[in-house]
Amino acid sequence: MVEELTDGQERELHERLRALEVELREVLARGREGAQVVSLDQPIGRVSRMDAMQQQKMAEAARRQAERRLGQVKVALAALEEGDYGLCRECDEPIGHRRLSARPETPFCLACQGRREG
């Protein structure tokens, strides 16, 4: 049986979510600057062009992941305002402090996350 969060645990996770929001916004802002610097039109050799494309692909994947995570952080912060933070968005059961302290923005309990991943 997973316990609901205590007030202290909720406060601590709230702090971490706010810090995470700032951090992810910075990552996304830096990503945009980086994308402008690397231009594939520049006359650089074939190998370095492939390197640049590979790097751009990786940066793009990292950016998408940061965007997804920022979305979850915002949902979690809104849930805190509403007073239903820490409850699974699928089954309404407590997600549990252990899982939330590993990933405070996670929207689902372990069981529902497992089902969603098949």
Give me the residues that bind Zn ion (CB under 5 A), please: 88, 90-91, 109, 112
Distances (CA, A) of 46 to 17, 41, 42, 58, 60: 43, 12, 11, 18, 21
- Quote the least distance from Cβ 79 to Zn ion, whole Å: 14
- Quote the least distance from Cβ 108 to Zn ion, whole Å: 5
Pick between residue 80 and residue 88 the one whose CB is nearest to Zn ion: 88
Pick between residue 43 and residue 118 the one whose CB is nearest to Zn ion: 118
- Quote the least distance from Cβ 117 to Zn ion, whole Å: 13
| Nearby residues of 63 by Cβ (< 8 Å), 6 or more positions away | 27, 28, 31
Q: Which two tokens stand for residue 33?
A: 């600057």
